Chain A
């Protein structure tokens, strides 16, 4: 490390998708770019957000909808950030307490994780519980403004379950989920890895469905960068983006999975055994069931490919559409403009220019209803996007956001 290395303070939550920050530091990608990257582990998203807002952190591993909420000024403490980069696609699943599952276990045959089938099963459980006079299922998500909350709600509503009337959704930090499930404080949860695998491998949970089954290749976390840092220290900011890109490349390489899990298992980072970390990275998901014992999903979590690092406006706007849908924010052109403006792909382009990498055309942002991969329009013409279909096959056109939300409202009633 040269004495001229720029210090960058980064906050993160103990989750698999914090790996780019951790690997950028541990494998020397940050150092090679002249950055001394300091990492600070936080437990709750609220604290991480507040420390970023006041400048204790320059950058942070952030729930994508937190940046959307910040654009709409929904927080009491102003959070003035830009999003130059996303931190991967996928990575979540929905896990149910074994005790609840056992009460409604299927007679025989393999279980389907298809979001429609899993939702129908859940709906039957809810109706059965209601008939027996049992309390509502209590579901955990990590924060009101999280992909988890919105994909869970989207899935439930799409399966004919009213998330507000038929279930009770509560918010807990990711690392506390397995304990909450074991103790009966939660009946199911939607959380990022490794906390599902932890509960499943401990025998407390069974897999219901995954984020990818609800919405293929969907976004989850972004890199939130304080605007003043991005503007005042542009060189260091871009150097960090390059380091994170290289870290993501390293993480995606199958040859590095063992080493990756070893590094992240350190108590200072995630602090869980390598066995618990691995499923979320290699996509060989333990189900906690006899049949099938394992779900093979190679694109369960993508740190790099399919333009996983690209901060798409359509992704941010989808979260905004759901915030409107559930009454978390009002629909306004001003909000839409600010949500769009929070994404800064031009910063990623500028930072990665020396690396000569194919990045998507920003105009290509209708989330399709097709199971195809489309080539990335770029100078290099490399790589591909998608498939990004929702389980109900309803496409999302960000330019017709109001109609989309209105359609969903009718569907709910």
Chain B
């Protein structure tokens, strides 16, 4: 049986991440994927759309609502299995560690849900790496601009050359065991304070 007959709902307030997961699922042959990025009435949507698997971000505050809905649901027959299988603890741990949780309609075979979860976990990890890198790049940019500004101040007020100013910030940073951007920030701050 082809995997495409499974209906998968990706519920994630982060639309980019949801799209990345959807793309991954489609590439893996799961063609019936729906994204929901707003959670008002998610439980109702589950009832009308009747997915086989729901993938949610662990930080999603609607998890409590969803669980209660499943416990009481008349739309989906109880019991509902969460994650992969009760016996597959390591897979659950991996999923939770990666920040993803899945609600799976009971009766779905383990070998059918496993690749979906593995894909979701990989995509979640890739997304958080991407976010980390973006954060890193942004703070690097910020660090650089404050150092440039501090150098300009030193050049302007102390008549230093660009390389002399750079060396002075670097030496101070080394002596004080601080980042260059921290020293630069205090130079900029001091200069602003002196202008008052």
A and B co-occur in one complex:
yes
Evaluate whether A171 and B64 lie within 8 angstroms (CB atoms) in the complex, with A76-B81, A185-B40 already known.
yes
Q: How far is the CA of A343 from the CA of B66 in the complex (A)?
A: 29
Closest to A73 in B: B86
Shortest distance between the CB of B93 and any CB in chain A (Å): 5
Contact assessment for A54 and B86 in the assembled complex, using a CB-CB cutoff below 8 Å: no
Per-position 1/0 for B51-91, Cβ under 8 A of A:
00000001111111111100100000000111100100100
Is A44 positioned at the interface, with any CB of B under 8 Å from its CB? yes
Evaluate whether A50 and B58 lie within 8 angstroms (CB atoms) in the complex, with A76-B86, A143-B68, A170-B68 already known.
yes
The 8 Å CB contact of B60, one of A44, A45, A78, is A44
Q: How many A-B contacts are there with CB distance less than 8 Å?
A: 62
Closest to B80 in A: A76
Is B165 positioned at the interface, with any CB of A under 8 Å from its CB? no
The 8 Å CB contact of B63, one of A47, A55, A77, is A47
Contact assessment for B83 and A46 in the assembled complex, using a CB-CB cutoff below 8 Å: no
Is A173 positioned at the interface, with any CB of B under 8 Å from its CB? yes
The 8 Å CB contact of B71, one of A50, A56, A142, A144, is A144
Evaluate whether A56 and B64 lie within 8 angstroms (CB atoms) in the complex, with A43-B59, A47-B59, A76-B86 already known.
no
Is A51 positioned at the interface, with any CB of B under 8 Å from its CB? yes
Q: Hey, which chain A residues are within 8 Å of B101, CB to CB?
A: 46-47, 50
Contact assessment for A46 and B67 in the assembled complex, using a CB-CB cutoff below 8 Å: yes
Q: Hey, which chain B residues are within 8 Å of A50, CB to CB?
A: 58, 96, 101
Q: How far is the CA of A50 from the CA of B81 in the complex (A)?
A: 14
The 8 Å CB contact of B83, one of A55, A76, A176, is A76
Within 74-94 of A, Cβ neighbours of B (below 8 Å) are at 76-78
Contact assessment for A51 and B61 in the assembled complex, using a CB-CB cutoff below 8 Å: no
Q: Hey, which chain B residues are within 8 Å of A76, CB to CB?
A: 80-83, 86
Q: How far is the CA of A175 from the CA of B62 in the complex (A)?
A: 12
Contact assessment for A54 and B59 in the assembled complex, using a CB-CB cutoff below 8 Å: no
Q: Hey, which chain A residues are within 8 Å of B92, CB to CB?
A: 54, 77
Shortest distance between the CB of B26 and any CB in chain A (Å): 27
Q: Hey, which chain B residues are within 8 Å of A331, CB to CB?
A: none
Is B182 positioned at the interface, with any CB of A under 8 Å from its CB? no
Shortest distance between the CB of A181 and any CB in chain B (Å): 14
Is B97 positioned at the interface, with any CB of A under 8 Å from its CB? yes
Q: Hey, which chain A residues are within 8 Å of B71, CB to CB?
A: 144, 328
Shortest distance between the CB of A77 and any CB in chain B (Å): 6
Q: Hey, which chain A residues are within 8 Å of B64, CB to CB?
A: 44-46, 142-143, 171-173
Contact assessment for A44 and B63 in the assembled complex, using a CB-CB cutoff below 8 Å: yes
Q: Is the interface of A mostly helix, strand, loop or mixed?
A: loop
Evaluate whether A144 and B61 lie within 8 angstroms (CB atoms) in the complex, with A77-B82, A78-B86, A185-B40 already known.
no
The 8 Å CB contact of A172, one of B59, B61, B86, B93, is B61
The 8 Å CB contact of B96, one of A43, A54, A78, A176, is A54
Contact assessment for B97 and A56 in the assembled complex, using a CB-CB cutoff below 8 Å: yes
Q: How far is the CA of A51 from the CA of B65 in the complex (A)?
A: 18
Within 132-162 of A, Cβ neighbours of B (below 8 Å) are at 142-144
Q: Hey, which chain B residues are within 8 Å of A328, CB to CB?
A: 71
Q: Hey, which chain B residues are within 8 Å of A77, CB to CB?
A: 82-83, 86, 92
Q: How far is the CA of A56 from the CA of B96 in the complex (A)?
A: 9
Shortest distance between the CB of B121 and any CB in chain A (Å): 13
Within 145-189 of B, Cβ neighbours of A (below 8 Å) are at none
Contact assessment for A176 and B61 in the assembled complex, using a CB-CB cutoff below 8 Å: yes
Q: How far is the CA of A78 from the CA of B93 in the complex (A)?
A: 11
Contact assessment for A51 and B82 in the assembled complex, using a CB-CB cutoff below 8 Å: no
Shortest distance between the CB of A105 and any CB in chain B (Å): 29
Q: How far is the CA of A170 from the CA of B62 in the complex (A)?
A: 11
Per-position 1/0 for A267-292, Cβ under 8 A of B:
00000000000000000000000000
Shortest distance between the CB of B76 and any CB in chain A (Å): 14
Q: Hey, which chain B residues are within 8 Å of A142, CB to CB?
A: 64
Closest to A164 in B: B72
Closest to A47 in B: B58
The 8 Å CB contact of A44, one of B61, B81, B89, B93, is B61
Closest to B81 in A: A76
Shortest distance between the CB of A39 and any CB in chain B (Å): 16
Evaluate whether A54 and B60 lie within 8 angstroms (CB atoms) in the complex, with A46-B67, A76-B83, A185-B40 already known.
no
Q: How far is the CA of A85 from the CA of B83 in the complex (A)?
A: 30
Q: Hey, which chain B residues are within 8 Å of A175, CB to CB?
A: 61
Within 24-70 of B, Cβ neighbours of A (below 8 Å) are at 40, 58-68
Q: How far is the CA of A78 from the CA of B87 in the complex (A)?
A: 10
Shortest distance between the CB of A143 and any CB in chain B (Å): 5
Q: How far is the CA of A77 from the CA of B59 in the complex (A)?
A: 17
Q: Hey, which chain B residues are within 8 Å of A78, CB to CB?
A: 86, 89
Shortest distance between the CB of A62 and any CB in chain B (Å): 14
Q: Which 6 A-B pairs have the closest CB atoms?
A: A76-B82, A46-B63, A171-B68, A54-B93, A173-B61, A44-B63
The 9 listed contacts between A and B (C-beta, < 8 Å) are A43-B59, A44-B60, A46-B67, A55-B93, A77-B82, A144-B67, A170-B65, A170-B68, A171-B64
Q: Which residues of A contact B (CB under 8 A)?
A: 43-47, 50-51, 54-56, 76-78, 142-144, 170-173, 175-176, 185, 328
Other contacts beyond A44-B61, A56-B96: 9, CB < 8 A: A47-B59, A47-B101, A76-B80, A76-B82, A78-B89, A142-B64, A143-B64, A173-B61, A173-B64
